[in-house]
Structure 1
Amino acid sequence: MFDRIALHTLAADACGLPTDGLVPAANYSRFKYGDGQVSMTFGRALADRFNEIVDPRPGERIFVTSSGYGAVPPAARSLVAPFVARMRSLAPSVQLQPLRVHRLGVSPGDYAAMDLEARAQAVGAKSMHVDPRIDVAGARVVALDDIRVTGTHELAMDGCLNEAGASWIDHLYVIDAHAAAGRPTLESDLNEVAASSVADLLAIADSPRFVPNARLAKRIVSSSAHEQEAFLRGVPVSVRAWLLDAAERDGLAHVPAYATGLRRLRLVSARLDRAAATA
């Protein structure tokens, strides 16, 4: 059993997100690439909506998770902390606990640009699991995610959470775009509204509470050598180190869509290191 709640619902004929309101197009795009300030706004708003609609019972045991992931968290993971903090202020008697859903493997490309068949192959029915040492049996689970388009990821989450024994699953989205699922580039277009250039990405990286994520890592890995160098020159050394580490931990070297870009990124980073050492 489950409920589905969203901050914004796109109609089938919608051209995109509004420029203002609760989920402005630019803010959503910045959130997808690591703007932690926007994550806080969305996470708190989801908590407000959940508390208003669901009205959890005093003492109820609730786990809060994001979309499943392997090594490097997606943007959706940055919603968990502000959601939990807000819920603890709204419903202090509820027993809230963050939960991680583990995902096997990594998408063979940009999931946002995939059609239904490719998404089903990327996120199979058995691709998600919960650590068996965590007792989810009988508890409610709130699954936070950025967008619902085809519902493929939601089905995979339901499968693993039901298998873990969850009594109820609430899916909370920043955007519900299921009505427009027939437009294959919709999600990708929404992601790029305020992140179409290296300058845009550098502005996000320079924002307060910047939280780099898997989407940013894949985007930089997939960029040209010129774009990679511009990004690496513009961010702190700590972000550069995070980027290379994230690519390694997510196994991008073994994914054909990213392998060449990662080799290029390593060369660019090494060249910048040599230049800094001789300056």
Structure 2
Amino acid sequence: MKDVYALHSILDDAQFPFDPAAYSRFKFGDGAVANAYGTALAEGFITAYGNRLSENEQLVVLPSPYTSIPTASFHMTTAFVKVLNRYLCMRGYSPAETAKIHRYKTYSIDYGALDMESRKALIINDKYHLDKDFLAGKTLIFTDDIRITGSHELIIRNLLNKFELSNDAYFLYYAKLHNQDIHPNIENKLNYHSVHSLHCLESVIASPDFLFNTRVVKYILNAPFAAYEQLLMKQSNTFLEDLADCCISNNYHHMEEYRTNANYLFDHLQKIIPSWQSICKKEKEPTLSYQNSLLA
């Protein structure tokens, strides 16, 4: 059994069954929206499939694949698991476990702007890993925020075959594109509906509910330098350190598109936080200097 469930269906590229502005904020780290989406998805799943669940069935929830920095859908999935486990607990069932689809490649291209063939070409060489022994015999729940072409779902289905996992599984989405006459770049329209500049992003990252994800880190690091510098000037040391740690964990500082902004961030942290002074400075290489910068 491999069932696909979506809370919302996209049939029109001008009218959506959810608020596109909220969706855009969600994709750029709005934790409050992530929580609302995860809660709604869990409630919809329970309504549709709750009577199928058994006390002898061990569920495992796996969010969309990521390397080190979680995706927006990871944060949605965190809320999903909480609501699902409350339901299971009230019925005397074991709580759902969680697992990760390990991804060993990252890229700077904006996936949401691509058509189906370009998406397949981009991800065909990605490498993924599942813990076969941990997952064996359990019912798997794969979650993601939106299904446009089904490319990632196909990757997961192929991955299950590769690891010889014939488990029952659910593929759950907050929304799914059902009108195939709509170009896949509708995803980009939704992603950038209300966040289309660093200025727009400021209100999202200023929220106490802000959560770093892959998209927002790449967007900040790839921004024009002047706007990037102005944004950093307004942030706390904690935010700057978290941004730098995300950058390092996904090796973005080694990617051409992000290297200049990443090095600038590292340089600034060496100036303002003593513990950074010997971390990022390369041997026999002087610390970068931005004498006229806003952060100097």
Shorter-chain TM range is 0.7 to 0.9
- Cα distance in 2, alignment partners of residues 261 and 64 from structure 1: 32
Q: Calculate percent identity across the aligned residue pairs.
A: 28
Residue range with higher mean Cα deviation, 89-98 or 28-37: 89-98
Structure 2: where are the runs of 5+ without partners? 275-294
2:72 maps to 1:75: yes
How far did residue 161 of structure 1 move? 3.3
Match in the other structure for 2:151: 152
The structure having more radius of gyration, on CA atoms, is 2
How far did residue 206 of structure 1 move? 1.7
Residue range with higher mean Cα deviation, 268-277 or 211-220: 268-277
- Cα distance in 2, alignment partners of residues 276 and 177 from structure 1: 47
**Is the contact made by 2:60 and 2:138 (CA closer than 8 Å) also made in structure 1?**
yes
**Is the contact made by 1:29 and 1:192 (CA closer than 8 Å) also made in structure 2?**
yes
Q: What residue identity is the alignment partner of 1:88?
A: N
How far did residue 87 of structure 1 move? 1.0
Q: 1:44 aligns with which of 39, 47, 54?
A: 39
How far did residue 128 of structure 1 move? 2.1
SS at match of 1:266: helix
**Is the contact made by 2:198 and 2:227 (CA closer than 8 Å) also made in structure 1?**
yes
Alpha-carbon distance change, 108 to 164 in structure 1, aligned in 2, over 3 angstroms: farther
TM-score under structure 2 length normalisation: 0.82
How far did residue 274 of structure 1 move? 4.6
How far did residue 180 of structure 1 move? 4.2
> RMSD of aligned C-alpha atoms?
2.5
The C-alpha deviation readout for 1:206-253, integer Å capped at 9, x for no partner, is 223211100001111111002211221222222222222222221224
- Equivalent residues in 2 for 1:198-213 (5 A)? 198-213=198-213
Q: 2:267 aligns with which of 265, 270, 277?
A: 270
**Is the contact made by 2:20 and 2:193 (CA closer than 8 Å) also made in structure 1?**
yes
Aligned length: 270
Structure 1: where are the runs of 5+ without partners? none
Match in the other structure for 1:88: 85
Q: What residue identity is the alignment partner of 2:86?
A: S
- Cα distance in 2, alignment partners of residues 243 and 203 from structure 1: 17
- Equivalent residues in 2 for 1:1-279 (5 A)? 1-11=1-11, 13-18=12-17, 23-55=18-50, 56-92=53-89, 93-124=93-124, 127-132=127-132, 134-162=133-161, 163=163, 165-180=165-180, 182-255=182-255, 259-267=256-264, 270=267, 274=271
Q: What residue identity is the alignment partner of 1:270?
A: D
How far did residue 119 of structure 1 move? 1.3
How far did residue 31 of structure 1 move? 0.8
- Cα distance in 1, alignment partners of residues 119 and 197 from structure 2: 26
Residue range with higher mean Cα deviation, 245-254 or 184-193: 245-254
How far did residue 35 of structure 1 move? 0.8
Alpha-carbon distance change, 181 to 105 in structure 1, aligned in 2, over 3 angstroms: farther
The C-alpha deviation readout for 1:42-67, integer Å capped at 9, x for no partner, is 11111111111112122311100111
How far did residue 8 of structure 1 move? 1.4
- Cα distance in 1, alignment partners of residues 191 and 123 from structure 2: 20
